Amino acid sequence: MDIHAITAPTFADVMTAAVRIAPHAQVTPVLRSRSLDALAGAQLHFKCEQLQRAGAFKFRGACNAVWALPETVAARGVVTHSSGNHGAALALAAGTRGIACHVVVPEGAVASKLAAIRAYGASLHSCAPTIAAREARCDALQRDTDATLVHPYRDPDVIAGQGTAALELINACEGRLDALVVPVGGGGLASGTALAAAALAPHCRLYVAEPAGAAETAASLAQGRRVTDFVPDTICDGLRGTLGQVNFDLLHAHDVQALVVDDADTVAAMRLLWSRMKQLVEPSSATVLAAILRYPQHFAGQRVGVLLSGGNVDLDALPTLFSAT
């Protein structure tokens, strides 16, 4: 697959996605918290994608990609690789259309996420935990099954689908947001958000929150070209993907700024989201609040849209998670 051949999606594609996924996806609520507003010195509007089907925003993109396929192509099924949330989302999305789904999962993935993928009816295929091994196994499966690859963040339909979360958030806030903060891993959510924000709230600044142990987006934006030679080391299991070229191009074109946070900041922010908002979000989601608290100068006194990306926490690993810092 030549990633440079991918045509970048546009805001029209986000609008199409919103219509396409409406029968299947949740319009998730936007929650507020007096105590977190006080801590941040800003008005925070939390878009709750942990309440999305399959527990993360990923269902939006997967659902859009699955339902965008022509009937005869869809009938051959879909395939992907995923450390968790995208796999579960694609499995569930395939289920809504009654088609087969194959998911390549790296060894060491979160147990509860694998269980979810299985429960949604997908076939699991395990591989070594490297991007190269994941893509090779995926290629082989594509050849064997003739199923369509739905890449977790480079697929234009996935990017457009992820953009619908920001579309809903901006509309819920009647366009009056000074800033938006979303987490970044492979960049599917971030680039879809850039499309929605540019169209609906052009004066709204877009920030991506990124763990220090996987900060290639910050490096890429700083250098003006995609940096990919890194080995991720972060508790944010949803943010270990490599930024895609199409994703980088969209983030670069929209003048997105990266805010880097330590895992310790992320765990502290996660505890705040749990204890103050009673929302069980996963570490990847907490990076956004961590960034707002770490870099208050960007947000003081402003109306800020905050995208909580998912809530698929492995409860058996909680003691490890809280002692990670």
27 binds its own copies, rule: CB under 8 A:
no
Scanning residues 271 to 300, which ones bind its own copies (CB under 8 A)? 271, 274-275, 277-281
Q: Tell me how crowded residue 325 is: count the other CB atoms within 10 A of its CB.
A: 12
Helices 11-21 and 58-68 sit at what angle, rounded to 10 degrees?
90
- Ramachandran quadrant class, 278 (left: phi over 0; alpha: psi -120 to 50; beta: rest): left
Q: Choose between 7 and 323: whose C-beta lies nearer to its own copies.
A: 323
Contact letters (x/-) for its own copies, 91-130, by CB under 8 A? Answer: ---------------------x------------------
23 binds its own copies, rule: CB under 8 A:
no
Kindly list the strands in the beta sheet with 179-183, ordered across the sheet, starting from the edge strand earlier in the chain: 30-31, 43-48, 303-308, 179-183, 205-211, 257-261
Which residue in 9, 55, 77, 152 binds its own copies (CB under 8 A)?
Answer: 55
* Total binding residues toward its own copies, as defined by CB under 8 A: 22
Q: Which stretch binds its own copies (CB under 8 A): 127-135, 164-172, 248-256, 307-315?
A: 307-315
Q: Choose between 247 and 279: whose C-beta lies nearer to its own copies.
A: 279
Q: Which amino acid, residue 302?
A: Q
Q: What is the DSSP letter of 53?
A: G
* Beta-sheet pairing, 123-127 with 148-149: unpaired
62 binds its own copies, rule: CB under 8 A:
no
What DSSP string runs through 178-238? SEEEEE-SSSHHHHHHHHHHHHH-TT-EEEEEEEGGG-HHHHHHHHTS---------S-GG
8 Å CB contact between 106 and 237: no
CA 222, 223, 226, 227 torsion-angle sign: negative
301 binds its own copies, rule: CB under 8 A:
no
51 binds its own copies, rule: CB under 8 A:
yes
Q: Choose between 186 and 311: whose C-beta lies nearer to its own copies.
A: 311
315 binds its own copies, rule: CB under 8 A:
yes
Footprint on this chain of its own copies (rule: CB under 8 A) = 29, 31, 34, 50-51, 53, 55, 112, 271, 274-275, 277-281, 311, 313, 315, 318-319, 322
